[in-house]
Amino acid sequence: MSKALDGVRVLDFTHVQSGPSCTQLLAWFGADVIKVERPGVGDATRAQLRDIPGVDSLYFTMLNSNKRSVTLNTKDPKGKEVLEKLIRECDVMVENFAPGALDRMGFSWERIQELNPKMVMASVKGFGPGQYEDCKVYENVAQCTGGAASTTGFADGPPTVSGAQIGDSGTGLHLALGVVTALYQAKATGKGQKVLAPMQDAVLNLCRVKLRDQQRLERTGEMKEYPQYAKGEEFGDAVPRAGNASGGGQPGWILKCKGWENDPNAYIYFITQAAVWEPICKVIGKEEWATDPGYATLEARLPKLESIFATIEEWTKTKTKFEAMDILNKYNIPCGPVLSMKEIANDPSLRESGTIVEVDHPERGKYLTVGNPIKLSASPTEVGPSPLLGEHTDEVLSALLGYSAEDIEAMRAEKVI
The H or E element that residue 94 is part of is strand 92-95
Q: Is 303 helix (H, G, I), strand (E, B) or coil?
A: helix
Residues 183-214: tens digit of each pLDDT: 999 999 999 999 999 999 999 999 999 999 99
Q: Are strands 194-198 and 68-71 parallel, antiparallel or unpaired?
A: unpaired
* CA 107 – CA 84 distance, rounded (Å): 9
The residue among 73, 76, 95, 111 whose CA lies nearest residue 10 is: 95
pLDDT at residue 396, as a whole number: 98
Euclidean distance between CA atoms 160 and 180, whole angstroms? 33
pLDDT of residue 402: 97
Q: What is the distance between the alpha carbons of residues 40 and 277, in angstroms, rounded to a whole number?
A: 62
pLDDT of residue 248: 76
Q: What percent of the chain has pLDDT over 70?
A: 100
How many residues are recorded in the chain?
417
DSSP per-residue letters across 108-121 = -HHHHHHH-TT-EE
Task: Decide: 94 and 13 in contact? Cβ < 8 Å.
Answer: yes
In the predicted model, is pLDDT for residue 247 greater than 80?
no
- Each residue's pLDDT tens digit, 272-313: 999 999 999 999 999 999 999 999 999 999 999 999 999 999
What span, in angstroms and rounded, lies between the C-alpha atoms of 84 and 115? 7
Mean pLDDT of 348-353: 96
* Residue 353: per-residue pLDDT: 96
Q: How far is CA 250 from CA 225, 273, 289, 299, in A?
A: 8, 5, 17, 11
Distance CA(89)–CA(115), nearest Å, equals 10
What's the mean per-residue pLDDT of the chain?
Answer: 96
- Pairing type for strands 335-337 and 68-71 reads unpaired
pLDDT of residue 336: 98
**pLDDT attached to residue 210:** 96
* Active-site amino acid positions: 168
CA distance 372 to 8: 18
Q: Please enumerate in sequence order all residues whose Cβ is within 8 A of that of 8, keeping only pairs 6 or more positions apart, or say none.
A: 26, 30, 31, 32, 91, 92, 183
How much is the average pLDDT of 136-146? 96
For 228-326, strand residue ranges (E) read: 252-256, 267-271
SS3 for 216-243 is HHHHHCCCCCCHHHHCCCCCCCCCCCCC
β pairing state of 120-125 and 356-361: unpaired
pLDDT of residue 152: 97
Q: What percentage of the chain has pLDDT greater than the value 90?
A: 96
Please write the tens of the pLDDT for every residue from 351-393.
999 999 999 999 999 999 999 999 999 999 999 999 999 999 9
Q: What is the pLDDT of residue 149?
A: 98
Instruction: Give 3-state DSSP helix, strand, coil % of the chain, rounded to 5.
Output: 40, 15, 45
Contact 24, 175 (CB under 8 A): no
* In the predicted structure, residue 99 carries a pLDDT above the cut 90: no
Within 10 Å of residue 135's Cβ, how many Cβ atoms? 14
- C-alpha of 1 from chain center: 27
- Indicate if the pLDDT at residue 246 is higher than 90: no
Q: What are phi and psi of 384, to 5 degrees?
A: -110, 180
| 325 confidence band (pLDDT: 50, 70, 90) | very high
What angle (nearest 5°) sits at the alpha carbon of residue 17, between those of residues 15 and 19? 60
Q: What is the pLDDT of residue 100?
A: 86
Question: Any residues with CB less than 8 A from the CB of 80 and at least 6 apart, and which?
Answer: 74, 105, 106
CA 30 distance to own-chain centroid:
20
Q: What is the predicted pLDDT for the residue at 180?
A: 98
What is the model's pLDDT at position 154? 96
For residue 296, what are the contacts with CB-CB under 8 A and spacing of at least 6?
Answer: 277, 289, 290
- Amino acid 28: pLDDT: 98
Asked if 260 and 248 touch (Cβ cutoff 8 Å), the reply is no
